[in-house]
């Protein structure tokens, strides 16, 4: 690995946690160049919902490339884009009675967050934005300004002057409704918080520690937005695309955001980033927000293939919810027998958070799991949560195998005296 250490920037991160050279991937598995197999409970931070090298995608891409299909097109019309848009409309929007226009942004989710913030400010003619504690929306300046964790923020970057952070659901304890705090601030002309252009939130905070907002809280936030003429932006980058057990994570609450950000799994492993826009606020001037790689035709092919296969009926989502119940039960059983290591199990659908005693404990569990052949990252404000994100297509036998590895890893860490688990290394 000398080549990477010699030539790649110090900014690299995941390679430090999983220091091998990967050469092959299939379904829920990765292999390194020594031939060692790893079960992937990371899945590209939720990008590989349909598994690595999904055969449907591989075949569609091979056929498209062999017939010299368009690769790069900016925002010109292509047959691949048309197929993708029709798949989004037929498989996702119309069955849910949703009416959105689709804006293709730069290749990553943070680009679509930037577009959402920019459009919201243009529509409402205000600069302010409300975000929430433990939020994560990306690392470019606008997206970073609405991201909560200060460790990502360079004090010289100049971001965040128009953003107010409010407590997320449960941040101040289960008995305090934080939506009422936001309402109080907006109702009081002397609070120092003006009416913003937008409220941006994740219905499940993934990087923030697998914090799941309640249905009641989400409904209250939506009502506040309506009452004050504020646009509601839902960031569904990591927990959309079926991860929650529904295609959109907000479906369970029955809310309809004005703007929805999608990326990661929507492109089937190919870079793709979308902003779904309520048609009433689609007031962009032509070319007002652009990007060289906003027309990734390989991603259109992959995305359309997956949508047309997995989302033609409700059976795929039902299967995700069934497997989610298994994951949650196995995780809770593990927590029940290791209470001095595991404090809580969080999650919804096939995103599970194992909350540990400290960031050191979570990192030790992650390292132990990696040595045993499973990849799982950490999350939370102090990295204290082991985050499980297996591909949605993983079968129950493999899920059980993965949870067995996690269990063995927790047991290895639990063998350390309890007093050491609460201290830094």
Q: Tens digit of pLDDT for each residue in 342-399?
A: 999 999 999 999 999 999 999 999 999 999 999 999 999 999 999 999 999 999 999 9
Sequence-ordered strand ranges (E) for 168-322: 198-201, 204-205, 211-212, 231-235, 259-262, 274-277
CA dihedral 394, 372, 411, 329 (to 10 degrees): 0
Residue of 153 and 405 predicted with greater confidence: 405
Tell me the two tokens of residue 155.
Answer: 């004090």
Residue 87: the pLDDT is 98
Q: Does residue 67 register a pLDDT over 60? A: yes
pLDDT, average across residues 65-82: 97
Cβ distance 41 to 390 under 8 Å? yes
Residue 265: the pLDDT is 98
Q: Which of 372, 371, 405, 412 is nearest to 388 (CA)?
A: 405
Under CATH, what is the fold of the domain 58-310? 3.40.640
For the chain, how many helices (H) and strands (E)?
Answer: 14, 17
Residues paired with residue 211 on neighbouring β-strands, in sequence order: 205
Tell me the two tokens of residue 163.
Answer: 């953003």
β-pairing verdict for 129-132 and 163-166: parallel
Give the Cα separation of 77 and 74 in Å (integer): 9
Residue 175: the pLDDT is 92
pLDDT band, residue 150 (cuts 50/70/90): confident
Tell me the two tokens of residue 15.
Answer: 């390679």
Burial zone of 381 (CB within 10 Å; 0-12 exposed, 13-18 middle, 19+ buried):
middle
Cα of first residue to Cα of last residue in the chain, in angstroms, is 26
Residues with Cβ within 8 Å of residue 28, at least 6 apart in sequence: 39, 40, 43, 51, 52, 390, 391, 393, 394, 398, 402
Tally of CB atoms within 10 A around 266: 26
Among 160-169, 223-232, 403-412, name the one with the lowest average pLDDT: 160-169
297-310 vs 79-87: helix crossing angle, rounded to 10: 30
pLDDT, average across residues 420-425: 44
Q: Convert the pLDDT of each residue in 336-356 to its tens digit.
A: 999 999 999 999 999 999 999
pLDDT, average across residues 216-243: 98
Q: Convert the pLDDT of each residue in 258-271 to its tens digit.
A: 999 999 999 999 99
Q: Convert the pLDDT of each residue in 303-317 to its tens digit.
A: 999 999 999 999 999
pLDDT, average across residues 320-334: 98
Among 210-214, 331-335, 363-367, 411-415, name the one with the lowest average pLDDT: 411-415
Average pLDDT score over the chain: 95
Q: Which of 278, 273, 276, 267 is nearest to 290 (CA)?
A: 273
In 201-358, where does DSSP find H-type helix? 215-227, 297-310, 315-337
Residue 423: the pLDDT is 43
pLDDT, average across residues 66-86: 97
Place of tokens 């102090």: 382
Residue 425: the pLDDT is 38
Q: Convert the pLDDT of each residue in 9-53 to its tens digit.
A: 999 999 999 999 999 999 999 999 999 999 999 999 999 999 999
Residue 153: the pLDDT is 76
Residues paired with residue 29 on neighbouring β-strands, in sequence order: 26, 39
Residue 159: the pLDDT is 63
Cβ distance 118 to 200 under 8 Å? no
pLDDT band, residue 415 (cuts 50/70/90): confident
Tell me the two tokens of residue 415.
Answer: 């063998």
Q: Convert the pLDDT of each residue in 196-225 to its tens digit.
A: 999 999 999 999 999 999 999 999 999 999
Residue 156: the pLDDT is 62
Give the Cα separation of 212 and 203 in Å (integer): 6
Residue 424: the pLDDT is 39
Q: Convert the pLDDT of each residue in 96-148 to its tens digit.
A: 999 999 999 999 999 999 999 999 999 999 999 999 999 999 999 899 999 99
Residue 158: the pLDDT is 61
Residues with Cβ within 8 Å of residue 191, at least 6 apart in sequence: 184, 185
Q: Which of 267, 250, 268 is nearest to 259 (CA)?
A: 250
Residue 417: the pLDDT is 59
Q: Does residue 80 register a pLDDT over 60? A: yes
Give the Cα separation of 141 and 157 in Å (integer): 7
274 backbone dihedrals φ, ψ, rounded to 5°: -125, 150
Place of tokens 């996702």: 92
């Amino acid at each position: 690995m000398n080549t990477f250490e010699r030539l790649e920037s110090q900014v690299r991160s995941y390679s430090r946690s999983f220091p091998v050279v990967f050469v092959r991937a299939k379904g829920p598995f990765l292999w390194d160049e020594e031939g060692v197999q790893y079960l992937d409970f990371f899945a590209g931070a939720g990008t590989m919902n349909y598994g690595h090298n999904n055969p449907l995608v591989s075949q569609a891409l091979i056929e498209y490339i062999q017939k010299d299909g368009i690769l790069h097109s900016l925002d010109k019309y292509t047959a691949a884009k048309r197929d993708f848009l029709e798949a989004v409309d037929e498989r996702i929007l119309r069955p849910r009675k949703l009416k959105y226009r689709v804006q293709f942004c730069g290749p990553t989710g943070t680009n679509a967050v930037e577009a959402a913030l920019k459009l919201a400010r243009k529509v409402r003619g205000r600069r302010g934005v409300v975000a929430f504690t433990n939020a994560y929306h990306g690392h470019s300046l606008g997206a970073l300004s609405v991201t909560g964790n200060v460790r990502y923020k360079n004090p010289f970057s100049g971001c965040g002057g128009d953003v107010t952070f409010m407590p997320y659901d449960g941040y101040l304890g289960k008995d305090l409704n934080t939506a009422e705090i936001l309402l109080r601030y907006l109702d009081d002309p002397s609070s120092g918080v003006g009416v913003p252009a937008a409220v941006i939130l994740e219905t499940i905070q993934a990087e923030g520690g697998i914090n799941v907002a309640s249905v009641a809280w989400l409904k209250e936030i939506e009502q506040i937005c309506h009452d004050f003429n504020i646009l509601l932006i839902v960031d569904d980058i990591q927990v959309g695309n079926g991860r929650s057990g529904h295609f959109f994570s907000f479906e369970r609450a029955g809310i309809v955001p004005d703007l929805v950000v999608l990326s990661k799994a929507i492109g089937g492993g190919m870079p793709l980033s979308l902003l779904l826009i309520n048609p009433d606020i689609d007031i962009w001037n032509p070319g007002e927000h652009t990007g060289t790689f906003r027309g990734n035709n390989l991603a259109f092919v992959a995305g359309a293939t997956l949508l047309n296969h997995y989302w033609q009926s409700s059976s795929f989502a039902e299967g995700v919810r069934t497997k989610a119940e298994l994951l949650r039960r196995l995780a809770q059983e593990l927590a029940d027998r290791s209470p001095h290591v595991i404090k809580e199990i969080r999650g919804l659908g096939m995103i599970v958070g194992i909350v540990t005693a400290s960031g050191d404990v979570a990192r030790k569990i992650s390292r132990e799991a990696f040595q045993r052949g499973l990849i799982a990252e950490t999350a939370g404000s102090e990295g204290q949560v082991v985050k499980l994100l297996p591909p949605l297509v993983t079968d129950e036998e493999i899920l059980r195998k993965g949870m067995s590895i996690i269990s063995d890893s927790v047991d290895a860490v639990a063998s350390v005296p309890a007093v050491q688990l609460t201290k830094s290394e």
